[in-house]
Structure 1
Amino acid sequence: MLTMLLVCLSSMLLLNGYTHHMFGAEPDGAVKPVGQVGAVPPSIRTGGPVIDAGPGQPRSASPAARTIALTFDDGPDPVWTPRVLDLLKAQHVHATFFVVGTAVAAHPELARRIVAEGHQIAAHTFTHANLSEAAGWRRSLELRQSQLILAGATGVSTTLLRPPYSAETGELTDRDWASIQATRESGYLTVLTTQDSEDWRRPGTAKVIANSTPRGTAGQVLLMHDAGGDRSQTVAALAKLIPTLKARGFKFATVSDAVGLPSPTHKVGLLERGRGLALIGAMRVSDAVLNVLTWLLYAAGALCVLRAITTVVAARRHARMRDWIWGPPVTEPVSVIVPAYNESAGIEAAIRSLVASDHPLEVIVVDDGSTDGTADVVEAMRIPGVRVIRQANSGKPIALNTGLQAAHFNLIVMVDGDTVFEPDAVRMLVQPFAHPSVGAVSGNAKVGNRRGLLGRWQHIEYVIGFNLDRRLFDLAECMPTVPGAVGGFRRTALERIGGLSDVTLAEDTDLTMALCRDGWRVVYEERAVAWTEAPASLDALWRQRYRWCYGTLQAMWKHRGAWVQRGQSGKLGRRGLTYLTLFQVLLPLLAPVVDVFAIYGLVFLDPLRVGLVWLGFLAVQMAMGVYAFRLDGERAGPLWTLPLQQFVYRQLMYLVVIQSVFTALAGSRLRWQRMERYGSLRAPASTEGFP
């Protein structure tokens, strides 16, 4: 579904980009043809402005004496075309309008008015492309689409074509002639000019009249414009020119009437008109899509800037509170619960790091039906104060509840089986419990296996994303998640909410939200450092984050009532859930739009400007990263991979969110996704920190 949406979105942008940014912006007369002229037949160079370059001897035709074929290029225009039509109607004059397909699609009612009032409508390509310079495929596309647009807007087709940037016959080059021959193969007669009003220069009304006035009695094909800018001089000149030339004995006619050709316009069938209407509809939809995307892009940019400002300001304020004392030092023993399912690779390092703690504790390992001998590994260690409870596989929440029932102490620390603690982590983690309002404490989980590129990217995400957010949540008193890797809980708080629930896949988020809604405060203790093993492959990372994201969506939906409640629950709802909705759901959903629009900008807009915007975004991310790394006491070296992260890792993360949202909307139940463990972490050798 996502692929289909992106394909449709890309198609709409491609159509919009082609129709709005692949045309020639210069006026017709401003581009002078340059090149060889040897291939142009002499009869054409000295002949009339209407050219038939068909098989055999090329032919041309000129207007009859004292006959002027008024022609208007580049329209229709919503401002100037109606004024020109009004003036022609008042003067009882018919003209030929060489219209641009994209302009007709934007204003089909004006094209219908041109036909309805007896004027001749003809093609000026689809996007005002220079056919002499265009490749064959584009020339064919320009001609075909311009005819479809005419068919859809007016119900007629035409065999008359004026190539953009064409001039008089004497100025034709070999490339122009080749293009004229190619368009004749498509069934077109080419109409050039014999007299150019040069109204595109806007030289003044008098000069336009002088340029448009015939020097003798020969018939003329007069070039004027009803679009492409301010055409007030054109309208003013016409108002004087037409009566003056009529008084001199000139008559005005369409191109075909002026040279004695049969009518070049023909009614089209229902199928052809339907296809034309479909193309017009697609172009309008593409315009609407671009407008929506533009606003979404602004929204995404605003969200990014808002998140950067709020998190950095909050982190700065939170850093000033590092020496905050919650009360008398907490020295009471702690029960550490380690739920374990097939954790034999890393369980020994996790247990040894816990028993090396400088705070009194007991360790309860709940083996949840492991098949790899996890419980045997722990029992073989024979460490006093470490107990093993075996149970049939029931899931992590049930394993934690089992450990909770077996715990001896009032303070509970929950630890993943792959997590390695710093010696002072438990002591730091429980200090906020000196305040009676604190029901849970989030520790500082760090990525331990960060040597590879994927590990560095996850390390960056933990420091810039998770930890900055936790500082903000702490200040706003709306912490939505105490990570399963390192979290402390007050036993009475857990018992009051009935322990852990297994109705979501993010049991840690569900538990934290339930505590907040019960009136407990959840805080962040950055000094309680634990090291976790991050996924070592993209597949494992995808499965882990998919479970996290889907579980978070489940928990948000389960606790949606917090939005309308008061107290601590209301803070979670209106602050925490709103933040999660904006920055962890909506912003990732907008991310593909940003990427697709960036490609659109590189192809159709100003690549330099798009590149500067991207560099500005990257600079903001880099500044946030440097500050976050400094707060966490980390070296900034891994940040060199941040630009690469924007091209690979970020896309992976927002695809996870998108798939999770679609899964949730479809009502599917996602099964538990367990990450494969490699046992890459080791217990810290001393209190100086993990190497």
Structure 2
Amino acid sequence: MTRRVARRARQVPLRTHWLILTVLLVCLSGALLLNGYTHHLYGTTPDGAAVVEGSHNAVPAAISNGGPVIDAGRKDARSVRPKAKTIAITFDDGPDPDWTPKVLDLLRAQHVRATFFVVGAQVAAHPDLARRIVAEGHQIGVHTFTHANLSTVPGWRRSLELRQSQLILAGATGVSTPLFRPPYSSEPDALTDADWASIKQTRDAGYLTVLTTQDSEDWRRPGTSRVIANSTPRGTTGQVLLMHDAGGDRSQTLAALQKLIPSLKARGFTFATVSDAVGLPQPVHSASAIERGRGLAVIEAMRLSDNALTVITWLLYAAGALSVLRALTTVMAARRHARERYWSWGDPVTEPVTVIVPAYNESAGIEAAVRSLVASDHPIEVIVVDDGSTDGTADLVESMGIRGVRVIRQTNAGKPAALNTGLQAASFDLVVMVDGDTVFEPDAVRMLVQPFADPSVGAVSGNAKVANRTGLLGRWQHIEYVVGFNLDRRLFDLAECMPTVPGAVGGFRRSALERIGGLSDVTLAEDTDLTMALCRDGWRVVYEERARAWTEAPASLGALWRQRYRWCYGTLQAMWKHRGAWVQGGQAGKLGRRGLTYLLLFQVLLPLLAPVVDVFAIYGLVFLDPVRVGLIWAGFLALQFAMGVYAFRLDGERYGPLWSLPLQQFVYRQLMYLVVIQSVFTALAGSRLRWQRMERYGSLGVPPRSAGATP
């Protein structure tokens, strides 16, 4: 990057981007938390199916032997019974979009008023049904927010269940009710001490508890005749009848009501709401404007959370499909590429090669790099272009006194300018570009230039390997280079859409570079920009995995972040610059429709989905079946591991570092995804990024002679 570009570049305000990302993740997490609470933290078992256990000592005799409507006052607990020959039909667990309308239609046809104890979450999902219940003269009561068993949950959740249910009712129907039926309750004599404690707390909140005297047991679906028998009073005593309009198939309930209501009317029974049956004043009243507004806000929040989960589910399908698609395509391509490994490009290329080494403050590793080059088994000249170093890089190379190595000094102008200077001074048409922190194997140059026997080849990508692969960070980068970069390059080679020849090891035809005007400094990924320009000019770019070079990888998370941030941002710049390739023909069209599309899908969109996947994984562990979520994650890890084993075998690498692959998914993968997210935010903001030079450690030595060795 030139000084001109560096001067006009400005540092990206990271806090703004992270603030946006944090807000999005917090909102997403909040939506999932709300959805998980309302849909996965309550019991779906019908009320009557719960097993009643526990002591009954604390329950007053007046309550356990009394009526089904209970006022659990602190000083004087009271209960009342329905009037003789009066039946209050009550429906629990609704409203349900399938069965509640059918129940309401039947009651309207029979001219019967009933009482519906509704679940707040269901009301939020179907507010129109709750409004219809009230509009048609039926009574409405609270059955908690999520159908939670209040006798087994802490006090804070009891309060939440009641408060949220009341707010949702106010928002959906405009009314407020003091009638409450605890989930999993039955008759008064079945109350336990825990039940009584929760009933007293609900009374403190202003609620009257409504239990039952007769259970139709329709939740068992025993058959229509049995439901009728269970619902028919034995004498003339008034009853509070328990039925359900939700929670499963309620066809038996409907069929039973169709016969039961006329039969009981013929016996002289009347049907009434709970309050009318026990002689209470009308308990349901209009809610205040504030309550309605808060209730509507809760309903809207729940609707948004449901929509968010729907979107996330589709995004997960997309992410899963992309992951599997990438695995299949890269492995299939690598398999085919490996079979063509010994493809002959033509007569052996023996002409001399110019190796250009751009160097800026590379004193830590420049000697090892130069010595590895002059040890090449192919005739070469080496040109080290010192780009204004201040650490004596040029003096060090000159002091080595190696024949065939030239040093060109220039004021600092950036890597592209240094490479262009080297091109102008090159003596030969075939050119190899290598970073100052990279060492070549002895046969690397010879292998790298063999594809130039084909006159259509304009550039060749070599096989860059991580040298300093000790420690977790080194192992993770080693895995990434072998599994990620090299498998992708095999695919790009077959598809003839190679987007990047790495700066660490790349061969070029000098005439091709001159035809496109040399290297450009308008992006931070000059190697990607150059490769795409060659493809658009009609040249073929190939991959030669036998041309191995060893490069120094970042040794700290900070250095890794800066390097990958520059790479990713520069790649986005290059993709945007060469977006016209999507509509071109020939070699340029292959780059656009194959290469750029691949980069967009798998290196931009897929990483952007990563936070959603991770947040949903946590959601699944908390609210869904953790075993199932664990198995899905294990399957994904097995897929990654299988790809790793295959890629390592192709490259002749030892499998040992793959043990760190699971840890890579938790730390390294997240870092790489955050890099992409940050780069996209930077690009969308229209900001420019400074050149991030990596610190050199001088860890390279004599180049190895086999892929499995470490220098």
Does the aligned pair in 1 maintain the 2:275–2:282 contact within 8 Å? yes
Runs of 4+ in 1 over 4 A off after TM superposition: 685-690
- AA partner of residue 641 (structure 1): S
Give CA deviations for 1:215-244 in whole Å, capped at 9, x if unaligned: 111111111111111111111111111122
Please give the alpha-carbon distance, in whole angstroms, between the structure 2 residues aligned to 1:649 and 1:54. 60
Secondary structure of the equivalent of 2:75? Answer: coil
How far is 1:686 from its partner?
A: 6.1
Give CA deviations for 1:512-535 in whole Å, capped at 9, x if unaligned: 000000000000011110000000
Please give the alpha-carbon distance, in whole angstroms, between the structure 1 residues aligned to 2:105 and 2:584. 65
Per the alignment, residue 9 of structure 2 pairs with none
Secondary structure of the equivalent of 2:615? Answer: helix
Per the alignment, residue 12 of structure 2 pairs with none
Per the alignment, residue 392 of structure 2 pairs with 373
Give CA deviations for 1:544-587 in whole Å, capped at 9, x if unaligned: 00000000000000000001101000110111011111110111
How far is 1:684 from its partner?
A: 2.2
TM-score normalised by structure 2 residue count: 0.96
Q: Does 1:656 align with 2:675?
A: yes
Does the aligned pair in 2 maintain the 1:424–1:687 contact within 8 Å? no
- AA partner of residue 238 (structure 2): G
Please give the alpha-carbon distance, in whole angstroms, between the structure 2 residues aligned to 1:203 and 1:305. 47
How far is 1:76 from its partner?
A: 0.6
Q: Percent identity?
A: 83
Please give the alpha-carbon distance, in whole angstroms, between the structure 1 residues aligned to 2:692 and 2:706. 34
Does the aligned pair in 1 maintain the 2:352–2:428 contact within 8 Å? yes
Q: Does 1:545 align with 2:559?
A: no
How far is 1:687 from its partner?
A: 7.8
- AA partner of residue 336 (structure 1): V
Aligned 1:74-153 pairs, distance under 5 A: 74-153=93-172
Secondary structure of the equivalent of 1:93? Answer: coil
Task: Choose the corresponding residue for 1:402, options 421, 438, 447.
Answer: 421
Give the gaps of 5 or more residues in structure 2. Answer: 1-19
Please give the alpha-carbon distance, in whole angstroms, between the structure 1 residues aligned to 2:510 and 2:211. 90
Per the alignment, residue 588 of structure 1 pairs with 607
Per the alignment, residue 251 of structure 1 pairs with 270
Q: Does 1:608 align with 2:588?
A: no
Please give the alpha-carbon distance, in whole angstroms, between the structure 2 residues aligned to 1:616 and 1:206. 50
Per the alignment, residue 453 of structure 1 pairs with 472
Secondary structure of the equivalent of 1:658? Answer: helix
- AA partner of residue 393 (structure 1): N
User: Over aligned residues, Cα RMSD in angstroms?
Assistant: 1.1
Does the aligned pair in 2 maintain the 1:422–1:690 contact within 8 Å? no
Secondary structure of the equivalent of 1:474? Answer: helix
Moved more, 97-106 or 263-272: 263-272
Does the aligned pair in 2 maintain the 1:338–1:415 contact within 8 Å? yes
Please give the alpha-carbon distance, in whole angstroms, between the structure 2 residues aligned to 1:683 and 1:566. 45
Task: Choose the corresponding residue for 2:366, options 347, 350, 358.
Answer: 347
Give the gaps of 5 or more residues in structure 1. Answer: none
How far is 1:42 from its partner?
A: 0.8
1:300–1:685 distance in 2 versus 1, CA, 3 Å: closer
Does the aligned pair in 1 maintain the 2:88–2:272 contact within 8 Å? yes
Secondary structure of the equivalent of 2:391? Answer: coil
Please give the alpha-carbon distance, in whole angstroms, between the structure 2 residues aligned to 1:487 and 1:256. 86
Task: Choose the corresponding residue for 2:185, options 159, 162, 166.
Answer: 166
Per the alignment, residue 641 of structure 2 pairs with 622
Q: Does 1:568 align with 2:587?
A: yes
Q: Does 1:65 align with 2:76?
A: no
- AA partner of residue 176 (structure 2): S
Please give the alpha-carbon distance, in whole angstroms, between the structure 1 residues aligned to 2:659 and 2:133. 61
Does the aligned pair in 2 maintain the 1:77–1:226 contact within 8 Å? yes
Give CA deviations for 1:647-681 in whole Å, capped at 9, x if unaligned: 11111111100111111111111111111110111
Please give the alpha-carbon distance, in whole angstroms, between the structure 2 residues aligned to 1:172 and 1:429. 84
Task: Choose the corresponding residue for 1:430, options 417, 426, 449.
Answer: 449
Per the alignment, residue 320 of structure 1 pairs with 339
How far is 1:685 from its partner?
A: 6.7
Give CA deviations for 1:241-280 in whole Å, capped at 9, x if unaligned: 1122122121111111111212221211222111111111
Does the aligned pair in 1 maintain the 2:550–2:703 contact within 8 Å? no
Does the aligned pair in 2 maintain the 1:533–1:680 contact within 8 Å? yes
1:6–1:86 distance in 2 versus 1, CA, 3 Å: same
1:9–1:225 distance in 2 versus 1, CA, 3 Å: same
Task: Choose the corresponding residue for 1:53, options 72, 76, 81.
Answer: 72
- AA partner of residue 209 (structure 1): I
Moved more, 681-690 or 284-293: 681-690
1:198–1:133 distance in 2 versus 1, CA, 3 Å: same
Give CA deviations for 1:612-644 in whole Å, capped at 9, x if unaligned: 111111111111111100100100110000011
Give the total of aligned pairs. Answer: 691
Please give the alpha-carbon distance, in whole angstroms, between the structure 1 residues aligned to 2:674 and 2:44. 39
- AA partner of residue 252 (structure 1): F
Please give the alpha-carbon distance, in whole angstroms, between the structure 1 residues aligned to 2:75 and 2:288. 31
Give CA deviations for 1:39-94 in whole Å, capped at 9, x if unaligned: 11111110111111122011111111111111110111111111111111122111
Secondary structure of the equivalent of 1:485? Answer: coil
Does the aligned pair in 2 maintain the 1:423–1:687 contact within 8 Å? no
Per the alignment, residue 632 of structure 1 pairs with 651
Please give the alpha-carbon distance, in whole angstroms, between the structure 2 residues aligned to 1:90 and 1:19. 34
Moved more, 182-191 or 547-556: 182-191
TM-score normalised by structure 1 residue count: 0.99
- AA partner of residue 370 (structure 1): S
- AA partner of residue 374 (structure 2): V
Per the alignment, residue 550 of structure 2 pairs with 531
Does the aligned pair in 2 maintain the 1:17–1:600 contact within 8 Å? yes
How far is 1:32 from its partner?
A: 2.5
Per the alignment, residue 406 of structure 2 pairs with 387
Secondary structure of the equivalent of 2:498? Answer: coil
Q: Does 1:177 align with 2:191?
A: no
